[in-house]
Amino acid sequence: MKIVLQHLTKSFPSRDKKSADVIAVNDFDFEIPDGKLIGLLGPSGCGKSTTLNLICGLLTPTFGRIFFGEDDVTDLPPENRGVGLVFQNYALYPHLTVRKNILFPLQNLKGAERPSKAEMEERMLQCARLVQIESLLERKPAELSGGQQQRVAIARALVKRPRVLLLDEPLSNLDARLRLQTREEIRRIQRETGVTTVFVTHDQEEAMSISDRIVVMNAGVLQQIDRPQTVYDDPINQFVAQFLGTPPINMFSGRVRDGRLFLGEQSVLVVPGVSDCEVNVGIRPEGFVIDPEGPLGCELLAVEVMGRDTSVVFDHSARLSPSLRAVIPSEERTHAGERSVRFSLKPSKVFLFDKTAGARVRFGGK
């Protein structure tokens, strides 16, 4: 079931009379394709939960419409939309067993919608198997780990066979290892069921690893929608470039003169097609190549060997980010004890941005 958002907007009145309304979601106009897993990604407070709550019907839009397939669901109450919801806190009924927690949404159905007892049992077991908790059915939530509780919550969301599955930061309460494992589980469950899924997270790595497409948003405004790798390789603006990637992209202040990019006095790259201007320059950590003849000379601060890769920490007078870090294959590492390091740059890993609005300034036809 595809989800279509048409000019979807939600503003909240400000808490005091003096300041303006908060526009939590500003004119969202895009389509979530059928059967895909979409990661809704952005910093805390950017409007992710508001978007999700609009889709499920817990909030009413200020403006705009929401369609599931061809159905306009904007005015439908949540219980009639066919959505399954999973939140950060598992919100299981503590006094009910796992079995009863999963059965609960089915037992609440009325009239013709209510399956027979045997069918309910069958569906409960099917979902329990899907999330691999069929051996825990007689336990209470307090007797489960966080990861197991979240699996029960997912089973409970799926038991009504929703048209759309909505997950709001579902992994945030889990420890690092469980978070990794559970996100792979969610990916598998989504593939097996084929249910259109919106997965909200502020964690870029989580969104990148799990999503078919990511929607990057900032302050209620959509920034970019695309495949994770495309967004990483071809960010639309400085915000997106800086939000994605670990270690983060390295930012410099630069200037373009006669088709050449300068960092300080050093001419570091040819940037065809850019007229003379001041720019912010983003260089991915993997965009630096150690090269004794390279055009970019930097002060070497530290070399950290981390297995397959080596991190080179350095400084430069044109630095904008708090620190600068190159990641290079370990066999190429520089000799310790040196004070400086020279790099050449991979043009595909270098991005230029307008100094004021942060819009991408493209060069060389890319």
Q: Is 53 in the site for Mg ion (CB under 5 A)?
A: no
Which of 9, 49, 237, 310 binds Mg ion (CB under 5 A)? It is 49
Residue 78 vs 294, nearer CB to ligand ADP? 78
Of 181, 235, 237, 172, nearest in space to 209 by CA: 181
Max Cα–Cα distance, the chain, nearest Å: 78
Shortest distance, position 285 Cβ to Mg ion, whole Å: 29
Asked if 51 is part of the footprint of Mg ion (rule: CB under 5 A), the reply reads: no
Q: Which of 2, 22, 82, 313 binds ligand ADP (CB under 6 A)?
A: 22
Q: Which stretch binds Mg ion (CB under 5 A): 42-50, 187-195, 234-242, 354-362?
A: 42-50
With contact defined as beta carbons under 8 Å apart, do 165 and 195 qualify?
A: yes
Can you tell me the distance from the alpha carbon of 345 to that of 22, in angstroms, rounded to the nearest whole number?
Answer: 42
Between 27 and 56, how does the x/- string for binding to ligand ADP read (CB under 6 A)? ---------------x-xxxxxxx------
For 247, the token pair is 């270690």
| Residue 238 binding Mg ion, by CB under 5 A | no
Using CB under 6 A, count the residues that bind ligand ADP.
11
- Identify the burial level of 39 via C-beta atoms within 10 angstroms of its C-beta, where 0-12 means exposed, 13-18 middle and 19 or more buried: buried
The first and second tokens of residue 124, run together, are 């409960």
Residue nearer to ligand ADP on the CB measure, 53 or 101: 53
The alpha helices in the chain, defined as continuous H runs, are 48-56, 98-107, 117-130, 146-158, 176-193, 204-210, 228-233, 238-243
List binders of ligand ADP among 100-129 (CB under 6 A). none
Least distance (Å) between residue 303 CB and Mg ion? 39
Nearer to ligand ADP, 244 or 350 (CB): 244
The amino acid occupying position 186 is: I
Q: Rounded distance, CA 327 to CA 249, Å?
A: 11
Instruction: Give me the residues that bind ligand ADP (CB under 6 A), please.
Output: 12, 22, 24, 42, 44-50
- In the complex, the residues that contact Mg ion under the rule CB under 5 A are 49
